[in-house]
Amino acid sequence: MKLRSLLFVPGDSEKKFAKVEACAADALILDLEDSVAPERKPYARDHVASLLDAGGAPDWSFFVRPNPLDSRMMADDLAAVVKPGLKGLLIPKANGGADIAEIGRMLDPLEAAAGMAAGSVKIAVVATETPLAMFNLGSYTPAHPRLVALTWGAEDLGAAVGATDNKEPDGSWTSPYKLARNMCLFAAASAGVLPIDTLYANFRDPEGLEADCRRARRDGFLGRIAIHPDQVDIINRCFTPSEAEIAFARRIVEAFAANPGVGTLGIDGKMVDIPHLKAAKKTLASIA
């Protein structure tokens, strides 16, 4: 599943969905949680269910962010939206792998009732939104069969610890949130799932978004959350390997295939070894 760009859309807004329906995001996340006022949640649930009932074959993957597991609303959310066309869930405020196992058990009978193949609905997790979650990032390994991605968030975590801000004067993350970002990246790598960077809040700053996406890809992230359709093309471009990168990755894979049992090779005057081979395979997998 390609998840370079995941665009949030409030689940109760027909107008906003109509504006983004034809966008180039890899996934649209129809939100039933924080972007929907409490009194609008029943309508949002019904609206998202109706969009799934409408069918069609969009170019993007249909994701839903339900309300948290401990909110007593998730069961109703899942009962409404688990139907053909739903590709995945983005789980907020998860405390660790045990939550994903429980949600998986909730999904099993709903998929069966909807005539869907077992395991059809995949799961991505916002893995750093509670203090307990920070201690449980290793619990996503080994990965649940439904788990496809981990991302991170700063706002709920900051509220939980009582932070007055999460950014330095220059716009960089303060140290607690750098830790959350880094640990999410390592947890995703350990579990063998996609690491997805958090949102870039200033949607009127395309240059800043592009620079930040370049840094994220440099560090190992493979996609990013978007909060405005104008961010999607920038994110897609930044997280898509260049033709030169793809060509070099193919040369590395082909060179090792032609020399079985060799741990080190020279290509273009550069020494490459097994870590380079692993990175090359990831590059090629990202365009599959």
- Please report the pLDDT score of residue 242 as a whole number: 86
Give the angle subtended at the CA of 102 by the CAs of 100 and 105, to the nearest 5°. Answer: 110
The confidence band for 38, taking pLDDT boundaries of 50, 70 and 90, is: very high
Confidence of residue 135 (pLDDT cuts 50, 70, 90): very high
Tens-place pLDDT, residues 184-235: 999 999 999 999 999 999 999 999 999 999 999 999 999 999 999 999 999 9
In this prediction, residue 185 carries a pLDDT of: 98
Total length of the chain: 288
Tell whether omega for the bond before 142 is within 30 degrees of 0, i.e. cis.
yes
When pLDDT is averaged across residues 29-45 and rounded to a whole number, the result is 96
Instruction: Give this prediction's pTM.
Output: 0.91
Average pLDDT over residues 59-64: 96
Mean pLDDT within 92-99: 98
Integer Cα distance of 213 and 279 in angstroms: 19
Which residue's entry shows tokens 């907020």? Answer: 92
Give dist(CA 234, CA 208) in Å, integer. Answer: 11
Mean pLDDT for the chain overall: 94
Encoded tokens for 215: 């840094």
Is residue 245 pLDDT above 90, yes or no? no
Whose tokens are 């109509």? That residue is 18
- pLDDT band per the 50, 70, 90 thresholds, residue 268: confident
**Average pLDDT over every residue of 69-97:** 96
